[in-house]
A and B are shown apart, each in its own frame.
Chain A
Amino acid sequence: MKVSPKGAPQLKEEVFEPGLCTACGGCVGYCPYIKAAADRVAMIYPCNCEEGQCYQVCPRTLTDLPFFRAQVFGERALEFNKFNQDSLEAVLGVCRALYFARAGAAAGSFQGQYGGVTTSLMRYVLATGKIDGALLVGGKPAQPRPVLATTIQQVEACTGSKYAAFPTLSMLYQPTQNLSSLGLVGRPCQVTALRKMQQVKAGAAGQVKLAIGLFCFWSLGPEFIPWLIEMGLGLIDKMDVTVDEVLFQKGEEVIRQNLAEIRSFIKPSCQLCYDPVAELADLAVGSTEYEADWNTLIVRSQAGENLVKEALQQDILEVKPYPKERLPLLKQAVLTKKQRVLQALKAEKENNRVGYLNLSPAEINFYLKL
């Protein structure tokens, strides 16, 4: 793995100061100098460490993607690295299977986002003892809070997307952590950070056995929640984003806002995110933007595949083939994002700034030519 022997001062200079912190929480809680309050992360005091774990685990510092693909997917990654222009994987990342999925009949009833895949799977792995704790974001959209769920009820209380970036990975440093295997539901940047944390054996990262990554084209910065409250939307139960609208749901009432209303809250770091579909996760889950009661599910790792198989057998999950006519749309959305980021990073390199991704020139050229 390529790493930079850098520490907190460089993290501050390269990530915090340019506004590139994703609020993943990977650096929060290991030391007394980086703190989080709700969805904000900041370095509060210079620690003077020349080399720091904080720098190494950050998803916006040098990220050796090929290395992590190999770590998570083994031989599958080698195949992926061949960049077959026609393959779906070239754009979506390692992909053992791609489905429309939703909670199965045996999953019980709860109000998840779209098809409720994430909640039903997390409930299942907790109930069956595959994990004994899950790192989630709980609370309503305007009062998100990190939750280390150890009961099914706690998992259910965390259903629904929050859209505000929340540094849940900080919980992996909690010194009272007494759980042997953990699950994580996180944004793609958090999954990347988790993989980096696992590499340097940070906190309890090694105990995370299942990482479900959420599709994420952007998340919202710390000004979003104050705005929600100001707009009288502090008590909404659920939030959803469509192509051009934001839906705030409070009980039966749905308030619609133009998407442009919240665009200004998008975190700057999301503009440089190369990975909208959680390429290093075991499973990646998102909306279908097609059928409201279903999720898109990408099965990535062997562990993910095993779990999905079992869940299907147990009727925890229900899947159907990904509609062929939707595939180009999904591919194009992800590809456009990747190309935009590669262009931006290329421009930064030309300005003598270091892009965080370590990709081979072949890979970069491949995407830019697609």
Chain B
Amino acid sequence: MGWQDIVREEPGKQVLLNGNEAMARGALEAGVHFVSAYPGSPSSEVTGVLAQVSKNFNFYVEWSVNEIVALEGAAGASFAGLRALCTMKADGLNVAYDFLTSMNLGGCRGGLVLVVADDPFGHSSLKEYDSRFLAAAAWVPVLEPSTVQEARDMVKWAFALSEQIKGPVIVRSVTRISHSRGIVTLKAMKQMAQEADFKPTQQFHTFARFHQEVRERLKQVEELFAVSPFNFSFGPEKADLTVFTCGTGWLYTKEALFSLQLEDQIKIVRPGTPFPLPKQFILGHLSGTKKVVFIEETRPFLEEKVLALYALHSENLSQIKFYGKATGHVAGLRGPECGEMNTDIVREVLARLTGRPYHASAAPLTKEEKKSLQALLPPRDYVLCPGCPHRASFWVVKSALALEGNNGMVIGDIGCYSMGAMETGFNLFNTLHCMGASAGIANGLSKLQSYGFKQPVVAMVGDSTFYHAVIPALINGRWNKANYLCIVLDNGVTAMTGHQPHPGSGKNAVGEEAEVISIEEVAKSLGFMVKVSDPFRYTEAIHDVLKLIRMPGLKILILRQPCALVANREQKRRKVVVRQELCRGDACGCMRFCTRVWGCPANVWDKKHEVAAIDPAICVGCGVCIELCPAGAIVWEGND
């Protein structure tokens, strides 16, 4: 399992991989030369595992500073005739999109594959959306796997397809593919020629006149898709009711048909190549059916394409009634076109259409049922890790802005610290959008003084976000005389996506020593007033925030403490204990500050003695609660 399995040289052997590992294996079987990515759930492990194994194969892997830089690098390799893979989460496609739409016009040479992982329901994303629409708008072909094995197969084939059509190809994954495990039958790994070769006469340009060429390219793709084994059907040859599905919908539908005992009555049509649509394949299956149900992840992409196709060919087809997300028939708890697909949604719509008796396992509960179930469940909200330096930083900024007293605004950004918009982050953020947005929004807000906006503005960005997208906004702010405090929360890694290194980490993707691009040096070189402070030193950090807020112009404060998970792994810090005789319990005016407001999971309540306690198993010894306990009851061990 894991990276040992993805490098196994045993064609025919069955191994258990997750979708991301399978896609990495697909790239290895295709003989990939160049891999680049900015991490982002649920895509991160594709490049992560390839970085782990790259030395065994001698191909190049990098964590790039952001997605567009990653894709540009991969395109460079492709222009030189090499096979390149670039992975990203759906949000990353937006970042890379300007280059993707440009590069797609000029085309590429070596196989260039983008793995784009969507996150329906936003399990680990701020937004959910369907990257197939972006791919279609860019005129880039899309493959959409339904199983872990198929994820491997599609990535592998995508390289060949890309080389054949001389353009990039997108493999769309979703969380349930990337993070599910399935059996993969290994195939041989291809050894590709290693020679990079970019002839002086070769040109890859972006000009509007190439638009037509891309159209021709898509026609060629459609012909290839028409005969692709990734498009298939299942069940009876002729059926009144047909399910058109792609991606995860394939297994959900199979399961639903099995449990409703409808496998012999309903046909499943599974196009694995939703864009461009394999028209003849689809038309063939529309012919002779009366009802069509669409099951797909997030938005009605396949549905809209098929409906348009039906409209164009309706004179040759019998009347069909369509049921899908666009029609409102296929809907989960968040309604149609929103949220994540599951078997129950499929079962419910198919039972309704066939009259099969079915009681949804997620049927609405009565009030009493809900109550009794809730009593069994511990309340679970998003929470920062024990000893997370962000918690300390948030409390510092919360305190400082209260003390500053002018209703200061906090403009949030993307990372673990996005939880600054939640209870665990003391609901600190006034805004939260996308990578780098904080500094840009702060620029704008700070220029509204002539309109009467006088509140202090604080932008909070992570270290990885700083490199990714903040620097241009800071330059803009300095140039245009913006007036705010940019706080960089520097924990040394890209923590949220799995502790990938970034330009400040001193390591690269494959673990080699790398130049440290110091945040303070970058900021100083741009002429900013920069201060580095320790969020664990609460009082001093507040002082620094207040001091900088009051200074005119755009200032930068770096609040630096290593990610608690990393720090705890590297070095166990001092032990924190509660002197329970000093804790005032519920008589304290703090109303259980440590467990209720501060909310570090290591601060726990000793129910027996009705006083505070520390969970020694998870406390990382940051010691911040020592300073915050008003009774002085929390102390370093040895000081008790």
Contact = CB atoms under 8 A, between A and B. Distances in A.
A52 B589 contact: yes
A54 interface: yes
Contact of B590 (A36, A47, A176, A226): A47
B231 to A, nearest CB: 58
B628 interface: yes
B157 interface: no
Nearest to A39: B403
Contacts of B590: 31-33, 47
A173 interface: yes
A334 interface: no
Nearest to B543: A37
Main secondary structure of the interface of A (DSSP, over half): loop
Contact of B593 (A31, A35, A53, A173): A31
Contacts of B402: 35, 42-45
Contacts of B546: 37-38, 40
Contacts of A222: 405
Interface string A31-75: 111011110111111011100111000000000000000000000
Nearest to B404: A40
B632 A176 contact: yes
Main secondary structure of the interface of B (DSSP, over half): helix
A35 B401 CA distance: 11
Nearest to B398: A44
A32 B632 contact: no
A310 to B, nearest CB: 36
Given A37-B400, A37-B546, A44-B402, A32 B628 contact: yes
B506 interface: no
Given A44-B402, A175-B631, A30 B589 contact: yes
Given A35-B402, A37-B403, A37-B542, A175 B582 contact: yes
B188 interface: no
A25 interface: no
B591 interface: yes
B405 A42 contact: yes
A44 B399 contact: yes
Contacts of A45: 398, 402, 426, 597
A96 to B, nearest CB: 37
A173 B630 contact: yes
A29 interface: yes
B589 A54 contact: yes
Chain B interface extent, by class? 20 to 34
Contacts of B403: 35-37, 40-42, 44
A303 B218 CA distance: 97
B589 A31 contact: yes
Nearest to A223: B550
B591 A30 contact: no
Nearest to B545: A37
A53 B630 CA distance: 14
Nearest to A46: B597
A47 B632 contact: no
Instruction: Pick from A32, A45, A49, A173 the residue with the most CB of B within 10 Å.
Output: A32
A32 B592 CA distance: 10
Interface string B545-583: 010001000000000000000000000000000000010
Given A31-B590, A54-B589, A175 B399 contact: no
B629 interface: yes
Contacts of B628: 32
Contacts of A35: 399, 402-403, 542
Contacts of B591: 47-49
Contacts, number: 67
Instruction: Pick from B543, B590, B629 the residue with the most CB of A within 10 Å.
Output: B590
A19 to B, nearest CB: 9
Contacts of B589: 30-31, 47, 49, 52-54
Contacts of A33: 590, 593
B582 A226 contact: no
A202 to B, nearest CB: 10
A30 B630 contact: yes
A33 B629 CA distance: 11
Contacts of B405: 40, 42, 222
A39 to B, nearest CB: 10
B598 to A, nearest CB: 8
Nearest to A177: B632
A275 to B, nearest CB: 25
B603 to A, nearest CB: 12
A199 to B, nearest CB: 16
A53 B404 CA distance: 24
Contacts of A43: 402
A13 to B, nearest CB: 15
Given A40-B405, A52-B589, A32 B629 contact: yes
A5 B631 CA distance: 23
A35 B628 CA distance: 10
Nearest to B539: A37
A45 B590 CA distance: 11
Interface in A141-190: 173, 175-176
Nearest to A36: B403
Interface string A279-303: 0000000000000000000000000
Nearest to A29: B630
A46 B550 CA distance: 25
Contacts of A32: 590, 593, 597-598, 628-630
Nearest to B400: A37
A48 B405 CA distance: 20
Contacts of A54: 589
A273 to B, nearest CB: 20
A48 B591 CA distance: 8
A175 B632 CA distance: 6
Contacts of B632: 175-176
A42 B404 CA distance: 8
Interface string B602-639: 00000000000000000000000000111110000000
Contacts of B550: 226
Interface string B585-603: 0001111010001100000
Nearest to A44: B402
B453 to A, nearest CB: 19
A173 B631 CA distance: 8
Interface in A199-238: 222, 226
Contact of A31 (B404, B582, B630): B630
Instruction: Pick from A29, A31, A37, A226 the residue with the most CB of B within 10 Å.
Output: A37
A48 B589 CA distance: 10
Nearest to B589: A31
Nearest to B594: A32
Contacts of A176: 632
25 contacts: A31-B588, A31-B589, A31-B590, A32-B590, A32-B593, A32-B598, A32-B629, A33-B593, A35-B403, A37-B539, A37-B543, A37-B546, A40-B403, A40-B546, A42-B399, A42-B402, A42-B405, A43-B402, A44-B403, A47-B589, A47-B593, A52-B589, A53-B589, A175-B631, A175-B632
Given A42-B399, A44-B402, 15 more contacts: A29-B630, A33-B590, A37-B399, A40-B405, A44-B398, A44-B403, A45-B426, A47-B589, A47-B591, A48-B591, A49-B589, A53-B589, A175-B582, A175-B631, A226-B550
The 8 A-B pairs of least Cβ separation, nearest first, read: A175-B632, A44-B402, A42-B402, A31-B589, A32-B593, A40-B403, A37-B403, A42-B403
Interface of B: 398-400, 402-405, 426, 539, 542-543, 546, 550, 582, 588-591, 593, 597-598, 628-632
